């Protein structure tokens, strides 16, 4: 009962905060609501016994990515931005599409069936090995290959930032 209440609170607040993030006109306010949103998502992870992911959520998302967002907002001309009309005018159409997708997903989700046998990473296993260690082990053994590809994706991001931003606009 308590668990359901806990989940219900966080789920409702996350939806509310997400709506606030996408509907605010002032980007600074959007970013601030997003900060709150990230903390709520982190709590949800904590609730699922995933303390490492919760910590990462706070450190990486709230700590690093949000600061990046604020830097970008800093570079924008906020006074101009507030006067500019929104790019997408027809919000009823957007609302209709989102509502339709929501209805489909709610309908579909009811037919989730759990016939899968419990995997190796049961709650007992994770409690014994601790979450961080279990995650680290799996990341460097079973998922080593995707892990290596992810490092290349990050490298591309760095190269891209340098190529697109640092170059002088015209070479000689």
In whole angstroms, how close is the CB of 113 to another protein at the nearest point?
7
Residue 109 token pair: 């989700």
Interface residues with another protein (CB under 8 A) are 104-105, 107-109, 111-113, 115-116, 119, 137-138, 140-146, 149-150, 152-153, 155-157, 159-160, 162-164, 167, 169-171
Quote the least distance from Cβ 20 to another protein, whole Å.
20
Question: Which CB, 71 or 112, lies closer to another protein?
Answer: 112
| Closer by beta carbon to another protein, 5 or else 113 | 113
**Minimum distance between the CB of residue 135 and another protein, rounded to whole angstroms?**
13
Tell me which residue of 144, 122, 117 sits closest to 134, measured CA to CA: 122
Strands (E), the chain: none
Alpha helix segments (H runs only) across 48-90: 51-56, 66-75, 78-83
- Shortest Cβ 10–another protein spacing (Å): 19
Measure the CA dihedral 116/117/120/124, to 10°.
110
Q: Which is nearer to another protein, 5 or 114 (CB)?
A: 114
Radius of gyration of the chain (CA): 21
CB contact at 8 A, 33 and 20: yes
- Complex with another protein: residue 32 or 56, whichever CB lies closer: 56
């Amino acid at each position: 009962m308590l668990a359901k209440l806990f989940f219900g609170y966080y789920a409702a607040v996350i939806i509310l905060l997400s709506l606030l993030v996408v509907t605010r006109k002032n980007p600074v306010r959007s970013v601030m609501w997003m900060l709150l949103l990230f903390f709520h998502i982190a709590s949800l992870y904590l609730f699922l016994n995933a303390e490492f992911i919760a910590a990462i959520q706070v450190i990486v998302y709230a700590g690093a990515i949000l600061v990046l967002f604020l830097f970008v907002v800093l570079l924008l001309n906020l006074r101009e931005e507030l006067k500019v009309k929104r790019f997408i005018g027809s919000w009823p159409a957007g609302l209709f599409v989102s509502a339709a997708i929501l209805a489909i997903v709610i309908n579909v989700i009811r037919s989730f069936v759990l016939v899968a046998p419990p995997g190796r990473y049961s709650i007992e296993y994770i409690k014994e090995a601790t979450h961080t260690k279990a995650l680290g082990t799996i990341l460097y053994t079973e998922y080593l290959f995707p892990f290596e590809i992810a490092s290349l994706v990050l490298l591309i991001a760095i190269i891209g930032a340098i190529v697109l931003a640092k170059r002088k606009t015209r070479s000689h």
